[in-house]
């Protein structure tokens, strides 16, 4: 409720989003960035180092289907050679008719 504040956003992999979304919406959340680097469940669990793929996809679908109060939804996908570059067209197909933006981000290793 700060004067001039127009956007409250969160970036998430979606694992806890289903549980937290009602409270976040009450707090004024109006933008979500979902970090989703793969649509393959086993790869997703490898990336986040924990079980929860179904919760993440469920949260994504919940946001898309039932949160008309959200002004903006974006999916961020870091493209990594040898890991998920073969999924770019799958992401396009998955999201082409959904009210969101997909941002493909180049993997930038910071190894010196």
Instruction: Judge whether 39 and 20 are in contact, CB under 8 Å.
Output: no
Query: What's the whole-model pTM score?
Result: 0.76
- Per-residue pLDDT tens for 22-69? 888 888 888 888 888 888 888 888 887 877 666 666 667 666 656 555
Closest CA to 24 of 12, 39, 36, 35: 12
Beta strands at 31-35 and 72-79: parallel, antiparallel or unpaired: parallel
Helix H or strand E encompassing 40: none
Highest mean pLDDT, choosing among 15-19, 28-32, 67-71, 96-100? 28-32
């Amino acid at each position: 409720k700060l004067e001039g504040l127009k956007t409250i956003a969160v970036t998430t992999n979606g694992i806890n989003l289903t549980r937290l979304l009602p409270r976040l919406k009450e707090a004024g959340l109006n933008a979500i960035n979902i970090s989703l680097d793969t649509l393959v469940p086993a790869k997703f669990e490898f990336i986040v180092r924990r079980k929860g793929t179904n919760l993440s996809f469920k949260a994504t679908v919940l946001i898309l289907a039932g949160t008309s109060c959200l002004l903006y939804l974006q999916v961020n996908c870091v493209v990594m050679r040898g890991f998920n570059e073969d999924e770019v067209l799958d992401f396009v197909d998955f999201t082409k008719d959904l009210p969101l933006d997909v941002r493909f981000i180049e993997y930038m290793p910071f190894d010196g």
